[in-house]
Amino acid sequence: MSISKLEQEILSRRTFAIISHPDAGKTTITEKLLYFGGAIRDAGTVKGKKSGKFATSDWMEIEKQRGISVTSSVMQFDYDGCRVNILDTPGHQDFSEDTYRTLMAVDSAVMVIDAAKGIETQTKKLFQVCRMRGIPIFTFINKLDRQGKEPLELIEELEEVLGINAYPMNWPIGMGKEFLGIYDRFNNRIEQFRTEEEDRFLPLNAEGELDIENDMTKTSYYTQALDDIMLLNEAGNEFSEDKISKGQLTPVFFGSALTNFGVQTFLETYLKFAPSPQPRLTEQETIVEPTDEDFSGFVFKIQANMNPAHRDRIAFVRIASGKFNRGMNITMTRTEKSFKVTQATTFLADDRETADEAVAGDIIGLYDTGNYQIGDTIVGGKKKFQFEKLPQFTPELFVRVTAKNVMKQKHFHKGINQLVQEGAIQYYKTLHTEDTILGAVGQLQFEVFENRMKNEYNVDVVMQPIGSKIARWIENEDAVKDSMTGPRSMLVNDRYGNKVFLFENEFAMRWFNDKYPEVKLYSLL
Ligand code: GDP
């Protein structure tokens, strides 16, 4: 492949994750996107995973043999000359640090909001991680076929709760039972709800109105939408591709994923403005361009097997530059070891020809027997470097953990050390008694921890939940005194020896702030 061909390939990549609160419609939208991309035959197979082309994926065999569920971790399809990678951000009971770390591996995010609920907690947390990275965020306001909040109210909520400027690309005409369609500012047309394809789009005239008389123009919903659009044109944000690319302005789309309305319009516009793979910074303060000829990538997620008969894992690597071939030689920066990659897979399930190679922007899964850690850099060329560290996230759930059998202390500590290094769980210890406290973003992390300690280190652990806490690090540790610690403001050390307060709740934290204003607290992401 000549350089220009490689460049072309890389520029066609769009790699994103969907951020949302459970039940906002992430799965439903993903299904529609895969359907448009021809990756599944029927929209409605992502959750079932029983039919459709996923069945032909390489992973199925590995999954069957080893009980690792990875098929929906990365979904790839082609559309309009783009190759799209959707990275799953596990929610519900699967919510964990992996969910956050996945956002380190994408170039943009799609935020799905339930029109009736507005911004919910998980969306807000995930949004903040995207914000920190400055990546473009595209918003899809879903479930317009049901009665929800007023669209202007939703836009205000976006701006106030999230602090991001919004630019509505289209605007709903009516809602719920009276949902008639969307006024598409960007494409200058009206897209009618529940209408056959040939009649679905009505062009707007130079004044931004419909020329033809039809039932819609006689409704108050149409007049209301025109009024709102006028208001947006006069007082709303200006469209700016530059601000979108910096994550300062989010284009907003309205639709109804369940009825497959507005999703394709969204996809097509998204692909126009979403970034191709972006350069990455290294710890050596150099910049790696995606089009660099040499392969490089970093591990953002390690999926461990829950089946005791097989201890293997899959390391998910985001390719940052160049091209990957199965069988190529790579070097891991941390260990300086070089090896040939034989067991790897890509995620384009239906195309055997290209399944052996992947380029910057794509994700590959490497079979792992315990060599990879989260954040590891791998390179294919002679240049050695390490990509910037993945951030640590503020955990919210904590347990006190001990080995059931005191004779197993050595194994216990070895296991914890390795799992902490791998990024599976966060480690803290109380100041004087040195009790082991584990922190996590989601409950699943504790379950994985317990399971792996048993299977990989042969240690049964006892976990005593101490509930959710607000963890705060300290800017000026000198100001901290032992007397400040107590049941409602527990003082612990993190794995690097930094002091951390675990507050019982917001109230306890505020009380502490009032009592000890000299202590400067801060949170990680
Ligand atoms: P996820 O948890 O974000 O993946 O949400 P799902 O895609 O599983 O959707 C949650 C529920 O909302 C399901 O019952 C969907 O059928 C429903 N749903 C999704 N999109 C829409 C929509 O546009 N309109 C309506 N009325 N329901 C929807």
Question: Does ligand 1 lie within 6 Å of residue 27's CB atom?
Answer: yes
Residue 25 marked in a binding site: yes
Determine the Cα–Cα distance for residues 499 and 504; give it in Å rounded to an integer. 16
Three-state DSSP string of 477-504: HHHCCHHHCECCEEEEEECCCCEEEEEC
Query: Which of residues 382 and 65 earns the better pLDDT score?
Result: 382
* Residue type for position 89: T
Show the tokens assigned to 286.
Answer: 């150099």
Q: Which of 19, 21, 28, 112 to mutate to test the pocket of ligand 1 (most atoms within 8 A of CB)?
A: 28
| Prediction ipTM score | 0.99
Asked if residue 362 has its Cβ within 6 Å of ligand 1, the reply is no
Q: Greater confidence, 225 or 442?
A: 225
CA distance 284 to 26: 37
CB 437 within 8 A of CB 399: yes
With beta carbons less than 8 A apart as the criterion, state whether 474 and 500 touch. Answer: yes
Residue type, 343: Q
Between CA 75 and CA 157 the distance in angstroms is 31
pLDDT at 96: 84
Quick check: 350 pLDDT over 60?
no
Alpha-carbon torsion (123, 124, 125, 130), positive or negative: positive
Q: What is the pTM of this model?
A: 0.89
pLDDT at site 95: 83
pLDDT of residue 4: 82
Predicted pLDDT of residue 3: 61
Which tokens hold the place of 301?
A: 């997620």
Q: Which of 172-181, 282-291, 298-307, 385-394 has the lowest mean pLDDT?
A: 298-307
Q: For the chain, how big is the Rg over CA atoms in Å?
A: 25
Mutational pocket test of ligand 1: of 23, 179, 194, the residue with most ligand atoms within 8 Å of the beta carbon: 23
Measure the CA–CA gap between 156 and 273, rounded to whole angstroms.
23
Which domains does the chain possess? 18-68+108-273 (3.40.50.300), 280-379 (3.40.50.300), 397-522 (3.30.70.3280)
* Token code pair at residue 297: 């990538």
- Unique residue bearing structure tokens 């107590």: 486
pLDDT in tens, 271-320: 999 999 999 999 999 999 999 999 999 999 988 765 666 667 789 999 99
Whether residue 63 is predicted with pLDDT greater than 80 in this model: the reply is: no
pLDDT of residue 73: 80
